[in-house]
Every structure is written in C-alpha cells, then in structure tokens.
Chains A and B, each alone.
Chain A
Amino acid sequence: EAGVTQSPTHLIKTRGQQATLRCSPISGHTSVYWYQQALGLGLQFLLWYDEGEERNRGNFPPRFSGRQFPNYSSELNVNALELEDSALYLCASSSWGHTNSPLHFGNGTRLTVT
C-alpha cells in the first residue's frame, strides 16, 4: 500500500511569490490534513479537508488556502510568501468515520522563501 505522497520535495521561492504544494493520501482515506513545521515552532495545524470540503483551519492568515479534489488529493497554496513561511509542510491522511484514526504523514515539502 502506497503511503501519503507529497510533491515537490523541496521548493524555493522568493518573497511575494506563490507556492503550490501537493499531496496524495493513502488509498481509501478521505481526510487530508496540512501541518506546518517551522523551526522552533513545532507542528502547527493548518487545514483539514474531507470529502472535498474544508472542515477546519488553524490560526493562519487567509493567504494560506487549499482545496481537495474528487480523488481526495489536495493542494496547499500559499500566496504573497513571507520569509517566515519557510518551513516543512507535512500532509497527513486518515479515514474519516473511524474514531481518532491515526494520521499517516507524508515526507513533507520543504519550502524555502528567500
């Protein structure tokens, strides 16, 4: 069974640009979560999608957005990049409907903003 896959592995952008990160969940998983892991700040919840809809978002500005496609893959978009957006962005998937099923994480996309 293929795990959660994320692309690209690394992404380098300049301040003000837009970044698009992609995630494919484990087959059969309908929920996708995005987390930001910035140096010194630990893992911060960003967004949660299920069945194509945004279910909840963390304490991040609106320039962090995303969507989930009919095949349950997901995209995270970060507009007007700032230097502090440099971080490892982790995607996770789980089976909605199973109480607190563990999240399965991908390897992440390391975004560097210069």
Chain B
Amino acid sequence: AQKVTQAQTEISVVEKEDVTLDCVYETRDTTYYLFWYKQPPSGELVFLIRRNSFDEQNEISGRYSWNFQKSTSSFNFTITASQVVDSAVYFCALSPPHSGGGADGLTFGKGTHLIIQP
C-alpha cells in the first residue's frame, strides 16, 4: 500500500521568507513517481513537478526547489523569497510505475495550507 504524509497541516510565514514543505512517502514499489501540485483558492490543482524515483538530483525552478532523498523517503519542496501569490494548499503525491498517473490513481498527501502574509 502506498502512503504520503504531509505532517504540516498549515504554515504561515511573512512575505520574502523561505519556507519548506515536507513530504514523506511509503511504497513497496522499486520504481515510482513523485509529484507536487498547488491548489489555489480557485480549486484547480496545478502541476508543479514530477520526479522519477531513479533520479535523485535536486531540482530548481525559479524560486521553487525540490529535495528528493530516497534514503529517507522524502521529497521536500522549498519556496525561496515567498510571495503572497504562493498562498495555496500544496499536495505531494505518489504514483506507482504505470502510465497515465497510475492505474490505481495517484496517492495524495492531505496537503499543507501555506499562508504568506504581506
């Protein structure tokens, strides 16, 4: 069985602070995919990143960076110099090694509500 844990239910920081969202996962699959999605107040889930379990390189995209550590089963997400527009619920998700997001569907964490105060 797969499981994704986002222990931080809510995080509140002041604009321009750096913030890290934690994600810990459990799976018996040797290959899998990890995702981060952003859900702004409008409700739509916005895809941010997909990471193959074979690729442990960290990734940076603008103010966003991701730290994948297979040894600790973690896939953490850091926002540098946070902005008010970053306020949203962020979901970490895990997919088995199948096409199209997984025949069993993505397993989502419960999400972290990030509040960026001006």
Name A's B-contacting residues (CB within 8 A): 3, 31, 33, 35, 42-43, 45, 48, 50, 55-56, 58, 88, 90, 92, 94-108, 110
Contacts and interface: CB of A to CB of B under 8 A. Distances in A.
A73 to B, nearest CB: 17
A74 to B, nearest CB: 14
B50 to A, nearest CB: 5
A interface majority secondary structure: strand
Given A45-B105, A45-B106, A56-B105, A95 B43 contact: no
B47 A104 contact: yes
B interface majority secondary structure: loop
B59 to A, nearest CB: 14
B91 A43 contact: yes
A56 B101 CA distance: 12
A101 B99 contact: yes
Given A88-B43, A102-B50, A104-B47, A42 B109 contact: yes
Given A97-B99, A100-B95, A105 B44 contact: yes
A43 B108 CA distance: 6
